[in-house]
Amino acid sequence: MSTEIFSAAKLAAPRLAAAGRAEKDAALLKIADLIESRKNEIIEANDADVCAAREKGMREVMLDRLVLTAERIGAIACGVREVAALPDPVGVVDRGYVRPDGLRIERRRVPLGVVGIIFEARPNVTVDAAALCLKSGNACVLRGGREALNSNGALAGIMRDAVESAGLPADCINFLADTTREGANAMMHARGFIDVLIPRGGAGLIRAVAENSTVPVIETGVGNCHIYVEKTADAKMAESIVVNAKTSRMSVCNAAESLLIDREALGMLPGIADALREKGVELRCCPECLAVLDGRASKATEEDFAAEFLGPVISVKAVGGVDEAIAHISRFGTGHSEAIVTSDYFAAEKFLNGVDAAAVYVNASTRFTDGNEFGLGAEIGISTQKLHARGPMGLEALTSMKYTVRGNGHIRK
């Protein structure tokens, strides 16, 4: 069954790649309309998923991610309309020049072809991902988690109807209902059919896909992000940034998981610690920091410094300057987002230049690493790899390029 779906996607891809902006936007607006007008159908399918999940004892926080209400469905439709309003990345010429022999060379953006998305329990990803693929001229194959099977199936069916009624092949959007390991495996080995695979979810999923796929993968999202409070930092700014980065939304990849603090700035630690504890955050500290905090914190293990807690815990370590901070980040960081709080020009520059991550901040919270916050419109994920795309991936990350060369009978000497 999966093979048929992959073939259908591959067949639809050139038609979608050739579609102009008007045609793609019309299909997106139709998707938004149909999602709203058929919301009862979606809620019914979602109810079945939620009931089953509740019976299986799914945790409340996960359950909350699964639930679709009329309001949330409205927000999903709204998101699709926002994608329709974004500029079309396809056809943009980002480079063009004439060679000495008169050959005219241009490089333009083209769709990737077929994009596969493997994701977990959040049904809104089904629509977000499909909309971004459609806008960038890519056919997609979506495979969500078992827990959201009914919801995802309903959403995908509605999107296929919408795309077809807008005059594009329904197979521009494909839904793989096989939520077993075999389904994921089939996608990971669909070379020649799927051009790129984007896993969205936990670290385990992403690792499994990256290690097993023969289709090229874009890795997303694992973030062990650090805030380094340098000795010249403004104490109030440091506290505000650390609290924001750690607590404004704990479950996301751009949240801070570790605080590095200069030995000469340890005087700021009690204040920062109080502010964090007020938000319910547990501090796991190196011995030096523990001493400063008079035992009102626990002792950090090596694992704590490597952990992406995604919850109310932060690791804390004293360091002896920027170089030591960079070395620690290089050892424990995941190349996502790293920040320094400082008033020192040279410390700021050293940190910006020396830290190897998708986004490096001076005097700002790591929570800004996000497609919308970076002004990219929507995002398909945050790449933590170095190939193709790094950091928040907008529509451009869903394109490749093509050289066009215009001659006048040119032959190579």
Decide: is 323 part of the binding site for its own copies (CB under 8 A).
no
d(CA 29, CA 18): 19
- DSSP string computed for 10-32: HHHHHHHHT--HHHHHHHHHHHH
Cβ(94)–Cβ(384) below 8 Å: no
Decide: is 403 part of the binding site for its own copies (CB under 8 A).
yes
d(CA 276, CA 243): 6
Within positions 125 to 184, which residues make up the interface with its own copies, using CB under 8 A? Answer: none
From the list 44-52, 65-73, 295-303, 396-404, the region that binds its own copies by CB under 8 A is: 396-404
**88 secondary structure, DSSP code:** P
Within positions 97 to 116, which residues make up the interface with its own copies, using CB under 8 A? Answer: 97, 99, 103, 105, 107, 110, 112-113
Please provide the size of the chain in residues.
413
Within positions 260 to 319, which residues make up the interface with its own copies, using CB under 8 A? Answer: none
Decide: is 343 part of the binding site for its own copies (CB under 8 A).
no
The tally of CA atoms less than 13 A away on the side-chain side of residue 267 is 8
From the list 10-18, 50-58, 165-173, 315-323, the region that binds its own copies by CB under 8 A is: 10-18
Site string for its own copies, 186-205 (x = CB under 8 A): -----x---xx---------
β 381-383/391-393 pair status: antiparallel
Cβ count within 10 A of residue 1 = 10
- DSSP string computed for 284-324: EE-HHHHHHTTTSSEEPPHHHHH----SSEEEEEEESSHHH
Site string for its own copies, 221-260 (x = CB under 8 A): -------------x--x--xx-xxx--x------------
Beta bridge partners of 96: 106
User: Smallest gap, in angstroms, from Cβ of residue 19 to its own copies?
Assistant: 12
* Contact with its own copies (CB under 8 A) among 86, 218, 261, 283: 218
Which pair of structure tokens corresponds to residue 140? 């997609």
Name the site residues for its own copies (rule: CB under 8 A).
Answer: 14, 17-18, 97, 99, 103, 105, 107, 110, 112-113, 191, 195-196, 210-212, 214, 216-218, 234, 237, 240-241, 243-245, 248, 330, 348, 352-354, 356-365, 367-369, 373-375, 385-388, 390-391, 400-412
